[in-house]
Amino acid sequence: MEEFKRLKRELVVNGVLFDYYQDTMQIPNGNIAKWDLIDHKGAAAVVAVREDGKLLMVRQYRNALERETLEIPAGGLNSRQEPTADAAKRELEEETGYICDEVELLTSIYTTVAFCNEKIDIYIARNMRPGKQHLDEDEFINVEAYSVEELKQMIYECKIQDSKTICGIMTYAAKYAK
């Protein structure tokens, strides 16, 4: 493969959730190109499996889509050094009110490789026990439970479109829900 060379990286916006950079790149044919980069510190998500086999889901409003979505519990890392397993357990409790002592890594995804380095580690939580939701001031989340088959049908009908949720549910279904 030909060589790509970064000549310059310039911080355009230092944001709350991510930073936006513009890179000046020399591409293999010798031309100079400007590429955008969204630098994200990472996130964790969790497929939360109840004792009855149903999965806990969170319904919340998403400003970017201007509507509610149905998703697996997830959230950003507090720092780049935070273990994603710890973040998954924290988000599970914050968003659903359920506590889990151990989680198992299911898969890892990069959300939008063309311009963003956000990586989400997706875990499975089992043997959960009730705790208490700890929502942020701007979070309004309803917790719902569905069977794997119900969720797969919602994916097929385009009712669930969130990529981490689709990946988590379908990977869980393929590996464990036979």
Which residue numbers are catalytic?
137
How would you label 116-129 residue by residue, b for 16+ Cβ within 10 Å and e otherwise? bebbbbbbbbeebe
Nearest residue to 58 (alpha-carbon basis) of 68, 66, 49: 68
Contacts of 175 (CB under 8 A, 6+ apart): 106
